[in-house]
A and B are shown apart, each in its own frame.
Chain A
Amino acid sequence: MSESVELKTEEQEPEIDISIADAVIDKYINISGNLMPVLQGIQDEYGYIPRVVADHIAERLNVYPSQIYGVLTFYAQFHLKPRGRFIIRVCVGTACHVQGAPRIVETFFDKLGIGHAETTPDLRYTFEKVACLGACGMAPLAMVNDSTYGSMTVQKVDDIVADYNQRPLK
């Protein structure tokens, strides 16, 4: 299931500075096939694609808004809701699964109070189950942003959450 599905309820988005998006659009405006780099660039800036920005891209690039939404929901790389400062990804691929990944996942759910592809209200954490992170030798495996945590245990989940709870949000 693509993650857009649970994002349908419209929430009040925080004030969005469109000029950041404009800067990205300006960079690619004269290139054909610019929708993907524009969306990627804009997601890098905002962390996700806010709806007002999607509509703005549609107007500036003269692309149907529906088409932008089609692209956004096709690719797993795009996010339509604000994401946490720390993206926790736990592998549930075959190797990790047999090494106990389901318990790791459950523990994160309990600790963070969120489920798969959800974000904590304080925007500190986003949690995702992923199919394979390509390091089966370290199973069960978790990642927080770019840091890798191998041979995960329930105790290590506590440690990781305690550690990242201390880190600044900005």
Chain B
Amino acid sequence: MVNLTIDNRQVTAPKTATIYEAAEMNGIKIPILCHDKKLKPFGACRMCLVEVEQMKGRQIPACTTPVTEGMIIHTATPDIIKARKMVLELLLLNHPIDCPVCDKGGDCDLQNLTYDYQVNGNRFTDEKFHHQIDYNNPLIERDMNRCILCGKCARICDEIVSFGALTFIDRGIETKIGCEFDGALNCEFCGSCVSVCPVGSLLARPFKFKARFWSLTKQKTVCGYCGTGCNLTLGVKDNKVLTTIYDQEQGFHKGQLCVRGRFGYQFINSEKRLTKPMLRKNGTLVAVGWDEALDFVVGKLKGGNVAALSTARLTNEEFVLFKKVMELSGSKDFDHSAGYAHSALTEGFARSFGTTASPATIPDIQKSNFLLVIKSDAYETHPVAGFEINMAVKNKGVVLNILSDKHGKLGKLPGAKTLLHVPGSEIALVNALSKVILDGKKAAGIASSVVGYSQLEQSLSDCSVEAVAATCGVSVNDIIELANDYSAAEKALIVFPVGLAYPGHNAELASAIANLAILAGKIGSEGSGVLCMSEKNNSQGAVDMGFYPSQDGKNAQQILDGCASGTVKTLFIAGENPVVSYPDRTKTAAALDKVDCLIVSELFLSETAAMADVVLPACSFAEKEGTFTAADRRVQHIKPAIRKIGLSRSDFEIFGVLISRLGGEVPVSSATVFSEIASNTSGYAGMSYAALGESGAFAPVDIKPAFVDVKAPGQTRQAGKLALLTGSSLYHCGTMSQYGEGPMHVCPEGYLEISRKDAANNKISENDLLTVTSASGSVQLKARITPRMSEGVVFTPYHFSSASVNQAWNGTEVTWVTLNK
């Protein structure tokens, strides 16, 4: 710490702080335009000029100057005020004064500073710019006439998003922010540039002319898409969520969002939302009152042979109540996420770590020295966690290694190494890494005392690194090097995504990874461990609340089989859309068709809801209170931003009524249910809504490591066919993002990524409609030729109802397909 004087106040600040940071820490405001605490200091705008007595006569930028012992700083002398006024005059010289029609009005740093400094005239004159406004994409409007060249957009796109869509182009007075060859913006549309733009140069088009900033009610909550658990501020007016608002103080990610979080909110107020309960009468769903619908549901639940499937998007409190509903219905058959998407936690980690949660957190990414990412898709499934990886590698020099069946964006990070392997061979490779560590006697000292060590040695004794390398299509040296680097790293973290589209990322892979981490001693310290990135916003919560079958209960697949065979009479589906997202559409739809009574609570009339006998209109995350548990077991409190849409009710209320009708104890409020959770869930002890506050709290993970014998599955290669991989698209999460206009504007339909070579061999051009045929069916997808794929491997995302991939995919990690035009 150093001591310094700012505006005649004695203050202290860390040695690494800049003058700006030191002032901010001590509550002294220095105006800024080009500075953002997430970005490296830049010093472009000169608004933060201050005087330092030791540098007499000079005005220096506070945002780039580090503090030194004994510094005496004045932040608001008459000379400084005069200089700042001139900076504003010069900026306003070219900046158009179109504030009355600018959406940034009220939230504009330039406008606010002009007001603060009372710049009510300009001593200079110059022409305004006449740049063309970029309206080429539906999400981000670029009006370079308003730009003040602070460079924040270009810097955030480079430093955090690592896409680099924007940069300074041209020179001198002609300098502007632009894309390559001064073309239209064509990027990930995460909107990070929009969030940091201090003026109205970069605007969210979906919010244009919707409301003035000051008329919005701002509600802090948690994003309802993926398991990263990003904090979100919703801008609300007239009971409509109109935008998301950037708040750099929010969450571990400091307000950073991805395309879904920022632009995918429209599903909340979608016209397609269900507003009334519906009951099937004479073959068609007709609107009925809640009493009639619930009478029907209660009757069916009392009839026995009930099973339930849930989405992983419910709150923790709702999962608890849903379990009670099932208990009162006399059923142990309930599951979520198709049964397999949580198996890495509920089976893999349960066996290997003695707990069903990851022994690492997302903030560990930046605290590590070495990252091993299994499948490049971790960026697509959890984009904001991907940003953390970007920052770890670019700013902190963290070594990044990727084991993947295709190239991805993470592989382009500086120094990143991608070990490209044959699809479906992750387990064999991870086992081989363990084998190298064992053979090289590099295992951590404590590993030999861990349960199952000798069995692991025994089991890996017949693992030949050479043979694995040959079948996986990687070199022996790469495996050995990776294993040695991993074991040598002081802190090493393994990250792997799980989800409906990643059936191969299962209990076996989780255990194989756990073996490797335990063997190398990379567990239990900060920056080390294994991070299983659960797919949905509350996947981890669903596991923590135990919404999966115990040993004598049916899992999701068995439940569907039960529906088909008639042993399940009533199926209660909450929020899940198995027809589109579960493997094998024909089989799933047939099972749902067969079941006597299908109860669906949903936001939309999804393909699954359309088959139901009774549809209960549920609420989105923006209309209810509760808690979500992120992939790294960060428990966060969500609060309603708007009143419920139509007659919809939250699942909490629906389950509450059912519990009382079934004779159970009626829950008082979500807060009381949460205190029940806190009292009986491991890791949640001591938590309450009040204690969670805005930043939430980590539920600690208690690890009891054990080695688990995992055998790699055999290769299933089929000659003459292509390996179809399923996965997540960057713009979507599950099937819900189909109702978010933003994601749908950018990525409206499924596609098939194919290598240049395969495209050439099959005479396929971009956007050709291809029929993808597997043993279980076929689906039509448009071709997208990319350098990402290697020869013989194709990839498709799974989110889309139209041409859903599960028509040709039956849940295997790799599906062998042929392509026809």
- B787 close to A73 (CB less than 8 A): no
- Chain A residues positioned under 8 Å from B172 (CB to CB): 2
**Please, which residue of chain A has its CB at the minimum distance from the CB of B412?**
A62
Binds A, one of B108-116, B177-185, B336-344, B620-628: B177-185
A51–chain B nearest beta-carbon distance, Å: 6
- Chain A residues positioned under 8 Å from B557 (CB to CB): none
**Please, which residue of chain B has its CB at the minimum distance from the CB of A3?**
B170
- Chain A residues positioned under 8 Å from B169 (CB to CB): 4, 66, 69-70, 73-74
- A67 close to B164 (CB less than 8 A): yes
- Chain A residues positioned under 8 Å from B166 (CB to CB): 66
Q: How far is the CA of A100 from the CA of B477 in the complex (A)?
A: 71
A53–chain B nearest beta-carbon distance, Å: 12
- B180 close to A54 (CB less than 8 A): yes
Q: How far is the CA of A4 from the CA of B172 in the complex (A)?
A: 13
B64 contacts the other chain (Cβ, under 8 Å)?
A: no
Q: How far is the CA of A59 from the CA of B164 in the complex (A)?
A: 13
- Chain B residues positioned under 8 Å from A54 (CB to CB): 180-181
Q: Report which residue of A1, A10, A54, A73 has the largest number of chain B beta carbons within 10 angstroms of its beta carbon.
A: A73
- B179 close to A74 (CB less than 8 A): no
Pick the contact of A74: B158, B170, B412, B787 (CB < 8 A): B170
- B164 close to A69 (CB less than 8 A): no
- A2 close to B174 (CB less than 8 A): yes
Q: Given known contacts A62-B412, A64-B164, A66-B164, is B171 in contact with A74 (CB within 8 Å)?
A: yes
A114 contacts the other chain (Cβ, under 8 Å)?
A: no
B167 contacts the other chain (Cβ, under 8 Å)?
A: yes
- A66 close to B165 (CB less than 8 A): yes
Q: Given known contacts A66-B178, A66-B180, A69-B181, is B167 in contact with A4 (CB within 8 Å)?
A: no
B168 contacts the other chain (Cβ, under 8 Å)?
A: yes
- Chain B residues positioned under 8 Å from A55 (CB to CB): 180
- Contacting B at CB under 8 A, from A90-121, are none
- B179 close to A73 (CB less than 8 A): no
A37 contacts the other chain (Cβ, under 8 Å)?
A: no
- Contacting B at CB under 8 A, from A1-34, are 1-2, 4-5, 8, 10
**Please, which residue of chain B has its CB at the minimum distance from the CB of A63?**
B164
A59–chain B nearest beta-carbon distance, Å: 7
Q: How far is the CA of A114 from the CA of B142 in the complex (A)?
A: 33
- Chain B residues positioned under 8 Å from A59 (CB to CB): 787
**Please, which residue of chain B has its CB at the minimum distance from the CB of A64?**
B164
- A73 close to B180 (CB less than 8 A): no
- A69 close to B174 (CB less than 8 A): no
Q: Report which residue of A4, A51, A54, A64 has the largest number of chain B beta carbons within 10 angstroms of its beta carbon.
A: A64
- A68 close to B180 (CB less than 8 A): yes
- Chain A residues positioned under 8 Å from B178 (CB to CB): 66, 69
- A5 close to B167 (CB less than 8 A): no
Q: Digit string of A67-81 for contact with B (CB within 8 Å is 1, else 0)?
A: 111100110000010
Pick the contact of A4: B163, B170, B787 (CB < 8 A): B170
B596–chain A nearest beta-carbon distance, Å: 57
Q: How far is the CA of A10 from the CA of B182 in the complex (A)?
A: 11
- Chain B residues positioned under 8 Å from A1 (CB to CB): 174
Q: Given known contacts A54-B180, A64-B158, is B164 in contact with A2 (CB within 8 Å)?
A: no
Q: How far is the CA of A42 from the CA of B394 in the complex (A)?
A: 29
- A69 close to B180 (CB less than 8 A): yes
A76–chain B nearest beta-carbon distance, Å: 8
Q: How far is the CA of A70 from the CA of B174 in the complex (A)?
A: 12
- Contacting A at CB under 8 A, from B149-171, are 158, 163-171
A131–chain B nearest beta-carbon distance, Å: 13
- Chain A residues positioned under 8 Å from B179 (CB to CB): 66, 69
Pick the contact of A64: B167, B168, B414 (CB < 8 A): B167
- Chain A residues positioned under 8 Å from B180 (CB to CB): 54-55, 58, 64-66, 68-69
Q: How far is the CA of A69 from the CA of B175 in the complex (A)?
A: 12
**Please, which residue of chain A has its CB at the minimum distance from the CB of B416?**
A62
**Please, which residue of chain A has its CB at the minimum distance from the CB of B411?**
A62
Q: How far is the CA of A51 from the CA of B182 in the complex (A)?
A: 12
- Chain A residues positioned under 8 Å from B158 (CB to CB): 64
Q: How far is the CA of A70 from the CA of B168 in the complex (A)?
A: 6
- Contacting B at CB under 8 A, from A45-64, are 51, 54-55, 58-59, 62, 64
Q: How far is the CA of A83 from the CA of B414 in the complex (A)?
A: 35
- B171 close to A51 (CB less than 8 A): no
- B182 close to A69 (CB less than 8 A): yes
- A73 close to B164 (CB less than 8 A): no
Q: Report which residue of B158, B163, B166, B169 has the largest number of chain A beta carbons within 10 angstroms of its beta carbon.
A: B169
Q: How far is the CA of A80 from the CA of B169 in the complex (A)?
A: 13
- Chain A residues positioned under 8 Å from B414 (CB to CB): 62
**Please, which residue of chain B has its CB at the minimum distance from the CB of A10?**
B181
Q: How far is the CA of A1 from the CA of B174 in the complex (A)?
A: 7
A62–chain B nearest beta-carbon distance, Å: 6
- A70 close to B167 (CB less than 8 A): yes
- Chain A residues positioned under 8 Å from B181 (CB to CB): 8, 10, 51, 54, 65, 69, 80
- Chain A residues positioned under 8 Å from B171 (CB to CB): 2, 73-74
Q: How far is the CA of A68 from the CA of B179 in the complex (A)?
A: 10
A8–chain B nearest beta-carbon distance, Å: 5
Q: How far is the CA of A59 from the CA of B411 in the complex (A)?
A: 12
B393–chain A nearest beta-carbon distance, Å: 13
- B167 close to A67 (CB less than 8 A): yes
**Please, which residue of chain A has its CB at the minimum distance from the CB of B182?**
A8
- Chain B residues positioned under 8 Å from A5 (CB to CB): 170, 174
- Chain A residues positioned under 8 Å from B168 (CB to CB): 70, 74
Q: Digit string of B406-418 for contact with A (CB within 8 Å is 1, else 0)?
A: 0000001010000
- B174 close to A66 (CB less than 8 A): no
**Please, which residue of chain B has its CB at the minimum distance from the CB of A65?**
B180
Q: Report which residue of A10, A68, A70, A74 has the largest number of chain B beta carbons within 10 angstroms of its beta carbon.
A: A70
B394–chain A nearest beta-carbon distance, Å: 12
B802–chain A nearest beta-carbon distance, Å: 32
Q: How far is the CA of A73 from the CA of B174 in the complex (A)?
A: 10
- B412 close to A66 (CB less than 8 A): no
Pick the contact of B170: A65, A66, A67, A73 (CB < 8 A): A73
Q: How far is the CA of A54 from the CA of B183 in the complex (A)?
A: 14
B407–chain A nearest beta-carbon distance, Å: 12
Q: How far is the CA of A145 from the CA of B78 in the complex (A)?
A: 56
Q: How far is the CA of A43 from the CA of B181 in the complex (A)?
A: 17
**Please, which residue of chain B has its CB at the minimum distance from the CB of A76?**
B171
- B167 close to A69 (CB less than 8 A): yes
A43–chain B nearest beta-carbon distance, Å: 16
Q: How far is the CA of A104 from the CA of B179 in the complex (A)?
A: 38
Q: Digit string of B389-409 for contact with A (CB within 8 Å is 1, else 0)?
A: 000000000000000000000
- Chain A residues positioned under 8 Å from B165 (CB to CB): 64, 66
Q: How far is the CA of A74 from the CA of B174 in the complex (A)?
A: 10
- A2 close to B170 (CB less than 8 A): yes
Q: How far is the CA of A74 from the CA of B166 in the complex (A)?
A: 15
Q: Digit string of B779-798 for contact with A (CB within 8 Å is 1, else 0)?
A: 00000000100000000000
Q: How far is the CA of A64 from the CA of B158 in the complex (A)?
A: 9
**Please, which residue of chain A has its CB at the minimum distance from the CB of B165?**
A66
- A66 close to B787 (CB less than 8 A): no
- Chain B residues positioned under 8 Å from A74 (CB to CB): 168-171
Q: How far is the CA of A121 from the CA of B178 in the complex (A)?
A: 29
Q: How far is the CA of A67 from the CA of B182 in the complex (A)?
A: 11
Q: Digit string of B125-165 for contact with A (CB within 8 Å is 1, else 0)?
A: 00000000000000000000000000000000010000111
- Chain B residues positioned under 8 Å from A66 (CB to CB): 164-167, 169, 178-180
Q: How far is the CA of A122 from the CA of B638 in the complex (A)?
A: 67
A140–chain B nearest beta-carbon distance, Å: 26
- Chain A residues positioned under 8 Å from B412 (CB to CB): 62
| Complex A-B: 10 CB contacts under 8 Å | A2-B174, A58-B180, A59-B787, A64-B163, A64-B180, A66-B166, A66-B178, A68-B180, A70-B167, A74-B170
Known: A65-B180, A69-B181. 15 other contacts (CB 8 A): A2-B170, A4-B182, A54-B180, A58-B180, A59-B787, A65-B181, A66-B164, A66-B166, A69-B167, A69-B169, A69-B182, A73-B169, A73-B170, A74-B168, A74-B170
Please give me the 5 A-B residue pairs with the lowest Cβ-Cβ distance, nearest first.
Answer: A64-B164, A65-B180, A70-B167, A66-B167, A69-B180
Hey, which bits of chain B sit against chain A, CB under 8 A? Answer: 158, 163-172, 174, 178-182, 412, 414, 787
